[in-house]
A and B are shown apart, each in its own frame.
Chain A
Amino acid sequence: MDPDTMLQVSTSDPTPPYEQLRRQLVELISSGRLERGQRLPPVRQLAADLGLAAGTVARTYRELETAGLVVTRRGGGTRVSTDPPVGPTPLLTGDLQMYVTALVGQARRLGATDQQIRDAVDTALNPTTSASNRRPGPNDARSPTSVDRGSQSS
């Protein structure tokens, strides 16, 4: 069995299982490891293998179908679309908010303050500008060095 085509789900991950599955399947389809027209496991089989409710897997398949990545036909199962959309996967409803919520949750668990999280997001959005404009905060012990290094290198 190809380990590259194993789906993994962690129930201790704050990301919902259906989203974990969706991300992996999007990656497998967009990377070409799942070929066009290839059939996906039936919902009940995959749910049983992963110890999930059938509705969870069905939701994943539904979202992939909405994104045009898979096609479901009655009696024919769910297959990878023969004509998947080119470019980034369309943003699905609620996805962005869910990602940001997960990010904020993880950052808070690391001990970051709200301001530090905002700064980090600004940096991620615009690395060059943020690095040159950023002023170190009172709790940011390591940031002056990194900013200085960034300024010197640019």
Chain B
Amino acid sequence: MFAIAVLLVLLLVLAGVLVVAAVRPQPEAALEPGSRLSNVRRRTSRWRWGGVALGVVFSVSALQVGGTVGRGVMLAAPLFALGVLVGVIVGELRVAAPSVAARSAPLEVRRVRDYAPKRLTGAVALAAGTLALLLVATTAAGSPDDVGRAGRWLVRACSESLTESRGPWPGSFYSLPLAAVVLSGLAATAFALQQVVRRPRQGEDVRVDDMLRCNAGSAVVAASGILVAVPLVGASVFAGIALFGSGSACPLWWGATVGWILVGCAACAAVLAVRCIVVLALPTRTGAGHEVG
């Protein structure tokens, strides 16, 4: 129930941001209609929103086929992010290479860090690292539940005759499919950023071209933020609940401490997830936070 509530809150945030995005003035209205850059902006934006739609389809499908033990809810957000990344990648791949006889290219070295928002990228990398550590720990500590599903409970042996079990626990039952989706998403993130950098220069206005790349880079990083932050919220909350509740039969001295750390971690990840949704829906017009040039 809690996971569904978190997901609903995030969906409401997304819906609100989409409404704001629909009614606010178009940021790149200054682009000359019909110019190459205008076409690039239109094409990449359409594919990005197509990716959002694909992500919604993915996550709804995950909710429908994920079963009743929470796997679908857990995979919904990462699959949504995966859909967005697919949209960005296709959009960037659809930018045509020059086909005229006389072509020119600047002798510049474009790098991913020129187009990815620095602070958000750092926060997402931190969240990804935290998620990896948490899942390794919870997978190692997981035990089978009452019907034998591996890694779904936290079981502690208080004595030879007394055991205490808590669940659901983010053990291998949840962490392995989650890791598969998140790793696929991170690979897609790397590929998408590579495409943002490598796609051919369009038009004469390098600053506008760089701004479009910055927006695409922000969308990619924001999608990867959703990819890792939402599962981090879920895994932290469920691990924290299990640790808070443990110790009634045999006290666990560090349970509450680690539980509070996990609650803090979940709160930070939730803030990051909301921030990523806002960035994804409202790309900055100037690539704020980027060093364009």
Chain B binds chain A: yes
CB distance B101 to A45 under 8 Å? no
CB distance B106 to A1 under 8 Å? yes
Asked if A8 meets B103 with Cβ closer than 8 Å, knowing A48-B97, A48-B199, the reply is: yes
- Judged by a CB distance under 8 angstroms, whether A100 is at the interface is no
- Judged by a CB distance under 8 angstroms, whether A111 is at the interface is no
> Which of B101, B102, B107, B200 has the most chain A CB atoms inside 10 A of its CB?
B107
Find the A residue at minimum CB distance from B201. A49
Which of B99, B101, B102, B105 sits near A49, CB closer than 8 Å? B105
* Total interface residues in chain A, CB < 8 Å: 23
Asked if A51 meets B103 with Cβ closer than 8 Å, knowing A1-B206, A45-B110, A77-B109, the reply is: yes
Report the bound CA distance from A10 to B105 in whole Å: 12
Query: Which residues from 157 to 206 on chain B have a C-beta closer than 8 Å to any C-beta of chain A?
Result: 197-201, 206
Q: Whole-angstrom distance from the CB of B25 to the nearest CB of chain A?
A: 29
CB distance A41 to B197 under 8 Å? no
Report the bound CA distance from A9 to B200 in whole Å: 14
- Judged by a CB distance under 8 angstroms, whether B108 is at the interface is yes
Find the B residue at minimum CB distance from A38. B107
CB contacts between A and B, total, < 8 Å = 65
CB distance B104 to A42 under 8 Å? no
Report the bound CA distance from A46 to B206 in whole Å: 15
Which of B99, B107, B198 sits near A7, CB closer than 8 Å? B107
Report the bound CA distance from A5 to B109 in whole Å: 12
- Judged by a CB distance under 8 angstroms, whether A34 is at the interface is yes
> Which of A11, A46, A48, A77 has the most chain B CB atoms inside 10 A of its CB?
A48
Report the bound CA distance from A9 to B106 in whole Å: 12
Q: Whole-angstrom distance from the CB of B28 to the nearest CB of chain A?
A: 20
Report the bound CA distance from A56 to B109 in whole Å: 18
- SS class of chain B's interface: helix, strand, loop or mixed? loop
Report the bound CA distance from A150 to B200 in whole Å: 52
- Judged by a CB distance under 8 angstroms, whether B129 is at the interface is no
- Judged by a CB distance under 8 angstroms, whether A141 is at the interface is no
Bin chain B's interface residue count.
Answer: 10 to 19
> Which of A1, A6, A42, A44 has the most chain B CB atoms inside 10 A of its CB?
A1
Find the A residue at minimum CB distance from B107. A5
Asked if A41 meets B102 with Cβ closer than 8 Å, knowing A48-B200, A51-B97, A51-B200, the reply is: no
- Judged by a CB distance under 8 angstroms, whether A26 is at the interface is no
- Judged by a CB distance under 8 angstroms, whether A39 is at the interface is yes
Write out, one digit per residue, whether chain B residues 200-239 have a CB within 8 A of any chain A CB (1) or not (0).
Answer: 1100001000000000000000000000000000000000
Report the bound CA distance from A10 to B100 in whole Å: 9
CB distance A6 to B104 under 8 Å? yes
Residues in A neighbouring B103, C-beta threshold 8 A: 8-11, 49-51
CB distance A10 to B198 under 8 Å? no
Find the B residue at minimum CB distance from A11. B101
Find the B residue at minimum CB distance from A17. B103
Which of A1, A40, A41, A50 sits near B98, CB closer than 8 Å? A50
Report the bound CA distance from A5 to B106 in whole Å: 6
CB distance B102 to A8 under 8 Å? yes
CB distance A28 to B97 under 8 Å? no
Report the bound CA distance from A1 to B110 in whole Å: 13
Q: Whole-angstrom distance from the CB of A19 to the nearest CB of chain B?
A: 15
- Judged by a CB distance under 8 angstroms, whether A12 is at the interface is yes
CB distance A7 to B206 under 8 Å? no
CB distance A39 to B109 under 8 Å? yes
Which of B98, B110, B198 sits near A51, CB closer than 8 Å? B98
Query: Which residues from 108 to 157 on chain B have a C-beta closer than 8 Å to any C-beta of chain A?
Result: 108-110
Can you list 7 A-B contacts with CB-CB less than 8 angstroms, sorted by A residue number?
A7-B107, A9-B102, A10-B101, A10-B103, A40-B107, A48-B97, A49-B98
Q: A34-B107, A50-B104 are known; give 7 further A-B pairs, CB within 8 A.
A: A6-B104, A11-B101, A12-B101, A41-B105, A41-B107, A49-B201, A50-B105
Binding site for A on B (CB under 8 A): 97-99, 101-110, 197-201, 206
